[in-house]
Amino acid sequence: MLFEALTLQLGYNATLVAIGAMLLGISAGATGTFLFLRKRALVSDAISHATLPGIGLAFIVMVWLGMDGRSLPGLLIGSALSAWIGLLCVQWLTGGTRLSEDSAIGAVLSVFFGAGIVLLTVIQGMSAGRQAGLDSLLLGSTAGMLFSDAVLIAGGGALVLMLTLLLRRPMSLVAFDSDFAAASGLNVPRIDLATMGLVLAVTVVGLKIVGLILIVALLIIPPVTARFWTERTEHVWLIAGALGGASGYIGAAISASAPALPTGPIIVLVAFAFFAVSLLFSPARGVLSSVLRHRQYQRRVHLRQGLLALAQGQPIYEGYTLRLLQREGLARPDGVATGDGQARAAKALLDEKRWEILRGLQAHEATAARYDGLTGLETILTEDQLRDLDTRIAAPREIAP
């Protein structure tokens, strides 16, 4: 069943949902990257919760005008207007008062969401609102999605993605250094507003599939996951878009293969699975690689200290150090150095003396700062510099009177 869903063989509606979710995930991952790099991830939470009163008001207005209150385009327009007002409130509170951004976000989020819940309660008391199903927009629902709804979601996601591609360079510059961007002639407030507008568009478009509560996860988790794999901005948003698209597609396929499972939460769980794998296994920042690097560094320190102890004829009391030396064939079980161990120990002691002199030479201060004390000095010094240090080691020292 899952294979058929992944290969788009479960019918027309399931195919539309999967493609729409994939485009939504790509646009959410790419757009959320710049929000994440700008360190304004909580703004997306305020925007998403601010859509709820707009949904309720749009339903009431459409019913009052004799229209179908569940019309998705009308609900999206209402949610967009409400979210935009919420975003302007956050910006006004941040810039016009002494409130910090997180306090402004908390205030706007709670007030707008509370107003939305009140409106939903009122709607449930209306004769036209008892079967409205607006609560499905909280967590997303693809059951009974129409062709026009799927096209609207897919088209909206594609449009947001295209705008993100066009604005990626100024948004990247503002995200990393807003002062330099302003000095370069960029209008930083306008670019910030454009970024928030794209986030708002993704939030509104994703209401039907992911829901206003979980859309925040689709905006933030893919960029955070991508950050584990690269240091370059252009790679971060590409990977984030790919992860977001894969999360949307796989999550929609899993939901289609098991109809009892809601689409939005499954998409978020798939995105979290990508995050968990990256957290554990990414080569540069993963937990496993960090543990391995720490173990390797610990091994080098113990080996170095063991060699210095052998060179100076000192006993080795640390069991791990002695085991390392034995494993490398540098010492016998009784702690006596082998032939190779004596050579390596003499080299380690020589490097230690060279480093001691190097640290006292002002001309080599920068070079000494780069040396980690564990590798051979020939990796950072030339042969002439090494010969000069060896000459200083052999030179007799003056005896203080």
Q: What is the pLDDT along the chain (401 residues), one digit of tens a residue?
A: 666 766 766 676 777 788 888 888 898 898 888 888 888 877 888 888 888 888 888 888 888 887 777 777 888 888 889 988 988 888 888 888 888 888 888 888 889 889 888 888 888 777 665 545 666 676 666 655 667 777 777 788 888 888 888 888 888 888 888 888 888 888 888 888 888 888 888 888 887 777 777 888 888 999 999 999 988 888 888 999 999 999 988 988 888 787 677 778 888 999 999 999 999 999 888 899 999 989 998 998 899 889 888 888 888 888 888 889 998 898 888 888 888 888 888 888 888 888 888 877 777 777 777 777 777 777 777 888 888 888 887 654 443 33
Dihedral angle, C-alpha 112, 221, 133, 204, nearest 10 °: 60
For 365, the token pair is 């201060």
Report how far residue 19's alpha carbon sits from residue 157's, in angstroms, rounded to the nearest whole number: 10
* Topology of the domain covering 8-216: ABC transporter involved in vitamin B12 uptake, BtuC (1.10.3470)
Report how far residue 232's alpha carbon sits from residue 33's, in angstroms, rounded to the nearest whole number: 12
**Cβ–Cβ under 8 Å, residues 122 and 55:** no
Whole-model pTM? 0.78
**Cβ–Cβ under 8 Å, residues 88 and 68:** no
DSSP per position, 4-23? HHHTT-S-HHHHHHHHHHHH
Q: Where in the chain is the domain with CATH 1.10.3470.10?
A: 8-216
CB neighbour burial string for 231-266, b if at least 16 within 10 angstroms, e if fewer:
eebeebbbbbbbbbbbbbbbbbbbbbbeeeebbbbb
- DSSP 8-state symbol, 68: -
